[in-house]
Amino acid sequence: MAVKAVAKGVRLSPRKVAVVASLIRGRSVDDALTILEHTPRRSALAVSKAIKSARANAEHNHNYKPDTLQITEISVTAGPRLKRFRPIAHGRAHPFQRKTAHIRVIVDGEQREAKKPAAKESAKPAAKSGTKHTAAEEKK
């Protein structure tokens, strides 16, 4: 079973994010984060956040060992485009589009052993014979 994380609507061009994603495809999570720390691209931050999210999902939600995680798949797809206008000469406007990207990371690794539930005691301790009184009963 693999664990995934998706970063949607990242305000970067999908082509530029895909260049960084190809650097770390197939590597271990620790190696990938080290490579991204030293990559001088703006998209390296967005990709590393998606990888950290996938690692946290695997560790906390699916009981994986964080040291054994490998990136099995990383894909970058185009998100919705934001239509904008840029002023040019003679009071005119030219349209352009701000592109967004979706980053999908799938990690897999070795799972931890499930903890066994604590053994229940067969005999419960006897309750005290004294009864508890409320403040209203004591006033009477």
> Within its chain, how far is the Cα of 58 from the centroid?
9
**Domains by residue range for the chain, with CATH:** 3-112 (3.90.470.10)
Per-residue pLDDT of the chain (140 residues; tens, 9 = 90+): 799 999 999 999 999 999 999 999 999 999 999 999 999 999 999 999 999 999 999 999 999 999 999 999 999 999 999 999 999 999 999 999 999 999 999 999 998 887 777 777 766 666 555 666 666 666 66
Contact 53, 22 (CB under 8 A): no
CA–CA gap between residue 24 and residue 73 (Å, rounded):
10
Angstrom CA distances, 133 to 59, 136, 138, stand at: 48, 8, 7
**pLDDT (0 to 100) of residue 95:** 98
Q: What is the pLDDT of residues 97-111, one digit of tens each?
A: 999 999 999 999 998
- Is pTM beyond 0.85 here? no
Quote the radius of gyration of the chain (alpha carbons, Å): 27
**pLDDT (0 to 100) of residue 13:** 97
Q: What is the pLDDT of residues 7-17, one digit of tens each?
A: 999 999 999 99
Quick one: tokens of 41?
A: 């691209």
